[in-house]
């Protein structure tokens, strides 16, 4: 089933805005458009979109400054569409509460897929049926019983490995920043210790990936974080 949504496109570049509008409408989504931050904020209240596609380079404000206010007044999925391929900015966007990001020039199919994924997770969460089992390739993660198996065989993980995997599995197909993962697994005092995370991910890959040097399950988002492909 195709799930359609109301999408607020926040983008000052007319060509990109049109491209986004056409792409979204072809996929059956309804589109409202804002050319600057001020318009975006007022449309947010009036239109109550399900998804906000947010450009960061806006004429009146930095798009990053909009993420907090959007989060506070709406439950919309926020996907940052940025021209700046700057990993620290992506990290900031995620830590401020963005759900995902794509970098321009973006692939429209990829963007639509990200939106579908986000909407699907949102719907599952809204239905209240907590996802307790996540499947990723031949790996099965049972969050309720804290059990992980590969090809039907139990895999023994260290407590930290399990905690990292569980965090990723609770939000499959979404990037979690290093900070988010470190904060929830090791605690706020350890958000700088990226090496802890690297060691845990290396262990997970060795135990779960078919080829740990070519990870297909736990995907590295360069200098940003990790994503579990479910």
User: Using CB under 5 A as the criterion, which residues of the chain lie in contact with Ca ion when the complex forms?
Assistant: 12, 55, 57
Adjacent-strand bridge partners of 32 = 8
Question: Which residue carries 């262990």 as its tokens?
Answer: 203
**For Ca ion, which residue has the nearest CB?**
57
Please report how close the Cβ of residue 142 comes to Ca ion at its closest, in angstroms. Answer: 44
Query: Nearer to Ca ion by C-beta: 81 or 164?
Result: 81
* Residue 12 vs 209, nearer CB to Ca ion: 12
Identify which of residues 31 and 56 has a Cβ nearer to Ca ion in the complex. 56
Cα distance between residue 73 and residue 30, in whole Å: 20
State how far the Cα of 104 lies from the Cα of 107, in Å rounded to an integer.
Answer: 8
Find the shortest distance in angstroms from Cβ 225 to Ca ion.
Answer: 24
| CA distances (Å), origin 55, targets 113, 192, 206 | 18, 28, 38
Question: CB of residue 206 vs Ca ion: minimum separation in angstroms?
Answer: 42
When the beta carbons of 54 and 155 are compared against Ca ion, the nearer one is 54
Q: For 142-148, which contacts have Cβ atoms below 8 Å and span 24 or more sequence positions?
A: 143/169, 143/170, 148/208
| Cβ atoms of residues 133 and 116 within 8 Å | no
Dihedral sign (CA 110, 215, 180, 93): negative
* Least distance CB 164 / Ca ion (angstroms): 35
Closest to Ca ion by CB, 106 vs 226, is 106
Looking at the Cβ atoms of 62 and 151, the one nearer to Ca ion is 62
Whole-number minimum distance, CB 201 to Ca ion, in Å? 34
The torsion of the CA quartet 152, 206, 156, 193, rounded to 10 degrees, works out to: -140
Q: How far is the CB of 53 from Ca ion (least distance, A)?
A: 12
């Amino acid at each position: 089933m195709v799930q359609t949504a109301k999408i607020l496109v926040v983008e000052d570049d007319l060509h990109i805005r049109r491209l986004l509008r056409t792409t979204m409408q072809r996929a059956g989504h309804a589109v409202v458009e804002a050319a600057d931050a001020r318009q975006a904020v007022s449309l947010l209240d009036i239109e109550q979109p399900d998804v906000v596609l947010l450009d960061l380079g806006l004429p009146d404000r930095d798009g990053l400054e909009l993420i907090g206010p959007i989060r506070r007044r709406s439950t919309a999925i926020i996907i940052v569409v940025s021209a700046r391929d700057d990993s620290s900015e992506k990290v900031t966007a995620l830590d401020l509460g963005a759900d995902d990001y794509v970098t321009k020039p973006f692939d429209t199919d990829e963007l639509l897929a990200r939106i579908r994924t986000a909407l699907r997770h949102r719907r599952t969460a809204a239905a209240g049926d907590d996802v307790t089992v996540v499947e990723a390739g031949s790996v099965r993660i049972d969050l309720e019983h804290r059990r992980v198996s590969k090809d039907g065989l139990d895999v023994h993980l260290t407590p930290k490995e399990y905690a990292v995997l569980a965090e990723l599995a609770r939000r499959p197909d979404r990037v979690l920043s290093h900070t988010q993962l470190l904060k929830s697994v090791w605690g706020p005092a350890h958000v700088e210790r990226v090496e802890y995370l690297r060691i845990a991910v290396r262990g997970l890959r060795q135990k779960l990936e078919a080829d740990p040097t070519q990870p297909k399950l736990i995907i590295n988002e360069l200098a940003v974080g990790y994503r579990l492909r479910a």
